[in-house]
Amino acid sequence: MKIGNIEFEKNLFLAPMAGVSDVGFRSVCADFGAEGCFSEMLSSRAMLHNPQKTALMTITAPNEKVKIGQIFGHESEIMAQSVRNPLLDKYDIIDINMGCPAPKIVKNGEGCALMSNILLAEKIIKSCVKASNRPVSVKFRLGKNKDISLEFGKMCQEAGASFVTLHARTLEQGYSGKANYDAIAKLSQSLLIPVIGNGDVVDKESYQNMLKTGASGVMIGRGAQGKPWIFQEIFGNKFEGSKFEVVKKHLTILRKYYDEQWLKLYMRKHFLWYSAEQKGASEKRMILATTQNLEESLEILKQLLK
């Protein structure tokens, strides 16, 4: 797949996940083959009013091959300004979030709410494309409560998007039910720009099923939580190295930028995901969920991930 001057070999993407896809996590996923790494969603408004917070979220790792910065908002002028914000200079591609179902986002007319306001969505895409010297892409869902992905995808294409990502669920579904791969197949056949298929890829079998849709690329989100090696295992290459070293690398990168106080709470979920497959470890995992001490967590993970 080629986007502008960017050549992808594996066509594999790590999903944007607010509160999860931090720089350390993106870096370990990139080590295992995630080629395009999306940032957590970045507020176009916050970039203007609270640039320090956004600055922390835009830290990237040198091994992220293709860096994709995802923005959200509902004002075309502010969105276009954010595309030109120096904080986003490091990104190879700018992605617009039109799929987030979180109530506080939807209430503001942002994220997936834009699928119910196609004229505004089109205006936002056109102004971001005009403001950008890089490819602009759009990530969206099936629609609010029914599948309008074909109509919406065609609009994105005509408005100048270089590719689109379809998370094949409706806003109302949230994360429940199964992603609709038929909708991904239909969209892939109908658009001239590449379509990235997203939803429920968790192993080699589901990856193969996603490829059958004819999508040009595949994006993985929750399947990578606690399992960044999924990006190699979907090809049948089992990861035989040290999982503990991966966890250590994830944490070591974050320690460069974040204080211990914040990290010890933030890392709990990652530690629980990393140890999720350890059977009979409920007592130790309970400590991971409650301890105030990162070194204690590392010691436990060292034993669990042997």
Annotated active-site positions, please? 100
User: Does 221 engage in binding with ligand FMN (CB under 6 A)?
Assistant: yes
User: Does 18 engage in binding with ligand FMN (CB under 6 A)?
Assistant: yes
Count of residues of this chain found to bind ligand FMN when the rule CB under 6 A is applied: 22
User: Does 17 engage in binding with ligand FMN (CB under 6 A)?
Assistant: yes
What whole-number distance in Å separates Cα of residue 290 and Cα of residue 286?
Answer: 6
Which listed residue (16, 160, 194, 226) binds ligand FMN by CB under 6 A? 16
Nearer to ligand FMN among residue 16 and residue 24 (C-beta):
16
Which listed residue (3, 12, 15, 23) binds ligand FMN by CB under 6 A? 15
Residue matched to tokens 């860096």: 67
Q: Where are the beta strands (DSSP E) in 144-235?
A: 163-170, 195-198, 217-220
Q: What is the dihedral of CA 14, 19, 25, 27, to 10 degrees?
A: 70
Per CB under 6 A, contacts with ligand FMN among 40-59 are: 40-41
**Residues 150-189 as x/- pattern, contact with ligand FMN by CB under 6 A:** -----------------x----------------------
User: Does 115 engage in binding with ligand FMN (CB under 6 A)?
Assistant: no
- The contacts of residue 263 (CB under 8 Å, 6+ apart) are 251, 254, 255, 294
Nearer to ligand FMN among residue 69 and residue 300 (C-beta):
69
Kindly state the helix (H) or strand (E) to which residue 244 belongs, with its residue range: helix 243-255
Q: Residue 100: name the closest of 114, 112, 117, 115 by CA.
A: 112
Nearer to ligand FMN among residue 21 and residue 127 (C-beta):
21
Q: Residue 48: name the closest of 21, 24, 73 by CA.
A: 73
Give me the residues that bind ligand FMN (CB under 6 A), please: 15-20, 40-41, 70, 97, 99-100, 139, 167, 198-201, 220-223
